Amino acid sequence: MNAAKRAEKAHKVYAIESGTVIDHIPHPMALKVVEILGVKQDGILTVGMNFPSQRLGRKDIVKVENLKLTAQVTDRLALVAPTATINIIEGSRVVEKRPIHVPKTFRGLLRCPNPNCITNIESVSTHFVREGSESEPAVRCTYCERLYREPAQLVV
């Protein structure tokens, strides 16, 4: 099947009564998003990968029934999927649609890979500051001052 026919083909997934749909996830980050969400419940979990996207080229989608995102989870998702949008579903309808914003600071959400960082030696909570743009964030550890250009690898 050629790409044009594939693009026209309908993608069918179960509708959810209430929950969250995370769209515009950069491919192939959907499984990392599911890991961050820590989905441990009964209900529908739909993961779609490698969909065509005008904005991203390729995108992933995660749909979770009965899930309400906390600010802490959204902040962690921002480093893995800064282009994502959050759709809140209630009564089988989208009641809220919002983009993810990459926060300026991250406290206790990331792990510093520097083995000599004080956060890996003593019981000190990590603290990172975002540098770079929201679409291509980098983070700097405020303790060891190392800059990490691929913060998705630091998400705990």
What pLDDT is stored for residue 121 in this prediction? 95
Pairing assessment for the beta strands 19-26 and 85-90 based on DSSP bridges: antiparallel
Residues 6+ apart with CB under 8 A from 90: 17, 18
Q: Domains of the chain by range and CATH?
A: 3-99 (3.30.70.140), 105-154 (2.30.30.20)
Q: For residues 98 and 69, is the Cβ–Cβ distance under 8 A?
A: no
Query: Per residue in 15-37, pLDDT tens?
Result: 888 999 999 999 988 998 888 88
pTM (two decimals): 0.77
| Angstrom distance (rounded) from CA 98 to CA 59 | 17
Q: How confident is the model at residue 2 (pLDDT cuts 50, 70, 90)?
A: low
**Mean pLDDT taken over the chain:** 86
Query: Per residue in 43-83, pLDDT tens?
Result: 788 898 988 888 889 999 999 998 888 878 888 888 888 88
Q: How confident is the model at residue 11 (pLDDT cuts 50, 70, 90)?
A: low
